[in-house]
Amino acid sequence: MTGTNLTAENTKNENNARECVGTAPKSFKIIGTGSCVPSRVVTNDDLTVFLDTSDEWIRSRSGIEQRHICTTETTSDLAIGAAKNALENANTTPDEIDMILCATISGEYICPSMAALVQRALGAQCPCVDLSAACTGWIYLMDTAAAFFARGGIRKMLIIGAEAMSRIVNWHDRSTAVLFGDGAGAAVLEPGENYLASSFVTAGGDEVIAIPTKNGISPWFEKEEKLPLVYMDGQETYKFAVSNLPKRVDEVLAKAGLREEDLDWVVPHQANKRIIDSASRRLKGVPADHFCVNLQKYGNTSAASIPLVLDEWNRAGKFQEGELIVMVAFGGGLSSAACLVRW
Ligand code: ACO
């Protein structure tokens, strides 16, 4: 995906949801958001019971104070909860949804897709597919949605980032276990002109972040099995993140012909407060308190992290119509991506 720049012609033709069918709308507008987290809260102190760590280390190195962790909930339960919440917020019924896209790396099934599980639970009837791009999954959802809207024939679309990272975190590895949490966020989209630009970079490889799947039971396969858990070189990920976040933001602004000062909000991937602070120091045109942060409550929820914070800010009424918001993420792949939307 090379990214899109949809600003130029987007000011014509105010499509409404019904009229767009069979035509070629330019992009979309977010008309509702939702989220869902498991009820069990695990504090940093809770982790010290079985890990050689401390609340002070976790707070000072990452900014995380607690995370929500599944006990009886599955990843799809969270996805379904966020989807229902977003539909309600968008005043939309499942029969109006023409496509469901879901991003996850921690679903309880490889097949059926998470999106198909959500479809069944909602009683919707539409095509469904999952995307896998780890923590940048949400930006890929937005861009894929934009491409489908540009093709035409979609009235409303539901996109969901859902993760139960607790299923795949190595709870014996203090350098990764303390960072992750579970949750889901969703948005309902309709044809509009509010998706302005995007930028994607992937530096492919499994050296820095890898989550293997199980080998299976083939009697012929000879390679050693790695446990299907998160492996992460934290320092290399950190370096990739601090250099790539500001670059992606610069790129989407350049594509849209805008400056940092034009931005109202930055919604970054919620992995580490130090990474967000570093990006904030680089992007001087945006006030530090206009970087949306809620990682202290949820930790890193991978593909769910941006929609979780988006929903919190939306429900708190902090985004005003017409404001410019950049969403920017990094993670497994290695990948990084940003997109620019008008609220
Ligand atoms: N508690 C106490 N000490 C710890 C812990 C812990 N939980 N984890 C590591 N340490 C120790 C290390 O052993 C090391 O000790 P040593 O100096 O005696 O060897 C020391 O703390 C410092 O470790 P560093 O790795 O240098 O710590 P750093 O300051 O780099 O912070 C961190 C580590 C928080 C992981 C940071 O590198 C980071 O946030 N990286 C980015 C991770 C990320 O954002 N991932 C997102 C993508 S994930 C995805 O896509 C699935």
Quick: pLDDT tens for 179-230. Answer: 999 999 999 999 999 999 999 999 999 999 999 999 999 999 999 999 999 9
**Residue 110 confidence (pLDDT) above 90:** yes
Cα dihedral 47, 51, 55, 57 sign: negative
Whole-number percent of the chain with pLDDT over 70: 93
Strand spans (E) along the chain? 27-36, 41-43, 66-68, 97-103, 128-131, 156-164, 182-192, 195-202, 209-210, 231-232, 265-268, 324-331, 335-342
232 Cβ below 6 A of ligand 1:
yes
Average pLDDT over every residue of 85-109: 97
Average pLDDT, stretch 284-300? 96
Q: Which of 85, 244, 300, 314 is catalytic?
A: 300
Residue range 92-115: mean pLDDT, rounded: 97
The per-residue pLDDT for 26 is: 80
pLDDT in tens, 115-153: 999 999 999 999 999 999 999 999 999 999 999 999 999
CB of 184 closer than 8 Å to CB of 114: no
With a 6 Å cutoff on the Cβ, whether 272 touches ligand 1 is yes
Q: What is the pLDDT of residues 269-286, one digit of tens each?
A: 999 999 999 999 999 999
Mean pLDDT of the chain: 92
Task: Give the model's confidence band at 19: pLDDT under 50 very low, under 70 low, under 90 confident, else very high.
Answer: very low
At residue 8, does pLDDT exceed 70?
no
89 is catalytic: no
107 Cβ inside 6 Å of ligand 1: no
Average pLDDT for 252-259 = 95
Annotated active-site residue 300? The verdict is yes
Instruction: Report CA(324)–ligand 1 centroid distance (Å).
Output: 33
How far apart (Å, rounded) are the C-alpha atoms in residues 289 and 53?
Answer: 30
What is the spatial distance between Cα 77 and Cα 231, in angstroms, rounded to a whole number? 26
CA 319 – ligand 1 centroid, Å: 33
The predicted model scores a pTM of 0.91
Rounded CA separation 86/35 (Å)? 7
Tokens for 177? 């276990």
- Residue 15: is its pLDDT beyond 60? no
Amino acid present at 340: L
